[in-house]
Every structure is written in structure tokens, then in C-alpha cells.
Amino acid sequence: MSEFVKIKLKSLKATANSLSKAEHQLAVLEQNPTQFTPFHSQLNTIGLRPLRPTALEVFQVNLGKMCNQVCTHCHVDAGPDRKEIMTKETMETIIEVLKANPTFKIVDMTGGAPEMNPHFRWFVEEVSKLGIQMYVRCNLTIITANKKYNDLPEFFKKHKIEVISSLPFYSKNRTDKQRGDGVFESSIKALQMLNEVGYGKEDSELKLNLVYNPAGAFLPPDQSALEKEYKTALANDFGISFNNLFAITNLPVSRYLDYLITSENYEDYMTKLIDAFNPTAAENVMCRNTISIGWDGYIYDCDFNQMLELKVSNPTTQHISTFNASALQDRSIIVNNHCYGCTAGSGSSCGGAVA
């Protein structure tokens, strides 16, 4: 664990770590020293290859890699030193695409810290005018990081945005190990602020969902048992309520891949993922109803493929400026061995377990 507890202050990119390069990560993922079945062959055996979309429903937008935190497990390699953020022009193109393609039911905003993009509020207001449900992947600490963000709970409420936030554990020790010193305390404060404006109450239309992900080289435990524990602990210790807990598996990408390698857990972790391969989870992987847009407007099958720079397979519609819904609907999803993270055990998606 010692490698894991060392909180990074800089991104892999800023420290010129070779794993900051997508091709280097892909080379590691394809090495396969233990001769495991490659993910695409696994899909073959269950008749899912090529992997095809079921519908275009979730439009995930990565508003940029800039973040106020530098979490150890971050698959985006986000941090304050990352300057790649989405321009207003790209956002305008996205709005046009959303107008022309009413099949999208959800706009899921992620980052980095999406709220740090200076056009974040403008973008939300424009999507709001289209009447599409929005999710924001809010890291919580941004709300208390600076006065200018203190009104975010009110802003989220105004647009009825569903808030999805990481809280790796309901204790300080484990949370701070993964996300940095002081993160637990400021996350608790932010959750209380969200509760105050009406988020996370039972039956409230203002949904507040929390995300658990393991602080180490292991798989998440049972999602529903963990949700009960979170609810009891957060209510008893801090008077906090929330709606659902999503238990997410860490995928071997970027900083988490770096952690696995430096702590010599990579092979064991891959073996765990592969041994836990679940065909039902494979059928329900999130890329089948999601597309993911990068900060620079390129289109990917999911946020992980985005970080591995694997653009959608159809060359005619790889950028938002050439968005073509039917071509995207017909595409084959690009898979690689990191996909084992989505299909292990109860499966894992941006909405938690899928099987």
C-alpha cells in the first residue's frame, strides 16, 4: 500500500512519466505476460464480438483535464497543472448536435473538475434550454475550494442536475489516502451544503449519488451492502443523506495503471479482473448506450478509451464537427484488455454495477 498512500502532487504528464502517453499504456495492456485470454477473444466466446451499441442515449462530455485535486487513481491524469479544457466553440457545436439528435436522454458532464471550465455555466444553461437531463461528476471539494464555487449547489438545483460525487469511503483515513489530505473534511462540508439546498433526500427530485472505488488493488464489494453501510455511517456521523451508491471498479488506465505497476500489483489485479469476468456485465457495458466527447471535440466510445486516445472506429465521425448519429450507431466499439474492468463481478459503469 505504501505506493498508494503517497499522494501525487503532479500529473504523470507534468512529471514526464512514460505512462502519460496513451501508446505506452496500450503497449502495457497488450503485453499479456500471464497468457490470459485477450478481451476481444473473450467477447468472441460469448457471441458479443464485434461489440455494438444498443442506442445513443448518454452523451458524456469531458469539459477538461483541469482539476483542483490530483487523486492517485485518476484515469484522466487530471490536476491543476493540466491546461486542456473545452472551448466555447466546441460547446456551441455540441449544442447544435444535441438539438439535431433528440435521442440523447442524458448529458453527463465530467472532467477533471468540469466546474473549472470558465464556460461551464453557460453550457449548462444551454443544455437546460433543450430540456435534457444533466449529470455532473462533481468532486465535492471544488464547492468549498474557492468562494466563486460556493453557490454551485444552488446552481445545480436550479437546473435540476443530478450530482454524482466520489467519496471513496465513509472514513477520513481511506478517503484522504486516495484523494489527498483534507479531502474528506471538505467533501463532508460540500455534502452538507448539497443536503441544505435539498439534494439527496429520499423522494427528492434532486438526486445526489455517491461513488465508491477501491483504495487499492482489489475489486469493489457488494454495492447494496456497501450502500447501507455508507448511509448509516454518513447519517450517524455527519447527518448526511444521499440517494444511491455506485460501486465502481478501477480500470488499469493512466495513474491507476502506474500505481499497479509501481506497487507490483499489475498481474495479480489483471488476473482478478479476468477471473471475475461476467458475461451479463459484458452485455451491459456502458459504451453500448454512451458516447464520450473529449475536451477537444473528438468522439470516443467511453471516457477510458478517450484517455487511451482510441477514437471511435468509424473514421467519418470522429469529431463533433462531423457528428453522424447513424454512423455512430453502426460502429464497432473498440475494446482492449482494460475493458476487463467493466466486466468483472457485478460489472462497472459510470452508474456503478450493471449485473
Partner 1 sequence: MDINYYNADDLKKFGNIVEFQKEMGEKFFGYYGEVFKEGALTAREKSLIALAVAHAVQCPYCIDAYSSDAYEKGYSESQMMEAVHVAAAIRGGASLVHGVQMMNKVKKISL
String of DSSP letters for 83-128:
--B--HHHHHHHHHHHHH-TT--EEEEESS-GGGSTTHHHHHHHHH
Percentages helix, strand, coil for the chain (3-state, rounded to 5) are 45, 15, 45
Q: How far apart are CA 203 and CA 57, in angstroms?
A: 24
DSSP state of 161: P
287 makes contact, choosing from partner 1, ligand SF4, none, with CB < 5 to 8 Å by partner type, with ligand SF4
Closest CA to 143 of 179, 81, 193, 177: 193
Q: How far apart are CA 18 and CA 44, in angstroms?
A: 32
DSSP state of 150: T
Task: For ligand SF4, give the closer residue by CB, 141 or 223.
Answer: 141
Cβ(111)–Cβ(62) below 8 Å: yes
CB of 168 to partner 1, least distance (A): 10
Kind and range of the H or E run holding 135: strand 133-137
Q: Which residues bind ligand SF4 (CB under 6 A)?
A: 67, 69-71, 74, 76, 78, 111-113, 139, 285-287, 301-302, 304-305, 333, 335, 338-339, 342
Task: For ligand SF4, give the closer residue by CB, 74 or 188.
Answer: 74
CB of 348 to partner 1, least distance (A): 15
Q: Residue 228 phi/psi, 5° resolution?
A: -60, -45
| Exposure of 248 in the CB half-sphere (CA atoms within 13 A) | 24
Number of chain residues interacting with partner 1 (CB under 8 A): 14
32 near partner 1 (CB under 8 A): no
Q: Which stretch binds partner 1 (CB under 8 A): 179-187, 199-207, 214-222, 286-294?
A: 214-222
34 makes contact, choosing from ligand SF4, partner 1, none, with CB < 5 to 8 Å by partner type, with none
CB of 139 to partner 1, least distance (A): 21
Cβ(62)–Cβ(303) below 8 Å: yes
Amino acid at 26: L
Closest CA to 162 of 123, 193, 129, 204: 204
339 makes contact, choosing from partner 1, ligand SF4, none, with CB < 5 to 8 Å by partner type, with ligand SF4
Report residue 301 as a C-alpha cell. Answer: 466510445
Task: For partner 1, give the closer residue by CB, 159 or 172.
Answer: 172
CB of 20 to ligand SF4, least distance (A): 14
Residues in region 148-187 near partner 1 by CB under 8 A? 169, 171, 173-174
Cβ(242)–Cβ(235) below 8 Å: no
Closest CA to 108 of 161, 70, 64: 161
Q: Which stretch binds partner 1 (CB under 8 A): 27-35, 110-118, 127-135, 212-220?
A: 212-220
CB of 129 to ligand SF4, least distance (A): 27
Q: Which stretch binds partner 1 (CB under 8 A): 28-36, 219-227, 289-297, 323-331?
A: 219-227
Residues in region 246-285 near partner 1 by CB under 8 A? none
Task: For partner 1, give the closer residue by CB, 130 or 235.
Answer: 235
Which x/- pattern, by CB under 8 A, does the window 228-247 give for partner 1?
A: -x------------------
CB atoms within 10 A of CB 320: 22
Task: For partner 1, give the closer residue by CB, 31 or 173.
Answer: 173
Amino acid at 62: N
Task: For ligand SF4, give the closer residue by CB, 139 or 244.
Answer: 139
Task: For partner 1, give the closer residue by CB, 278 or 324.
Answer: 278
CB of 340 to partner 1, least distance (A): 18
Report residue 102 as a C-alpha cell. Answer: 433528440
Chain positions contacting partner 1, by CB under 8 A: 169, 171, 173-174, 214, 216, 218-222, 225-226, 229
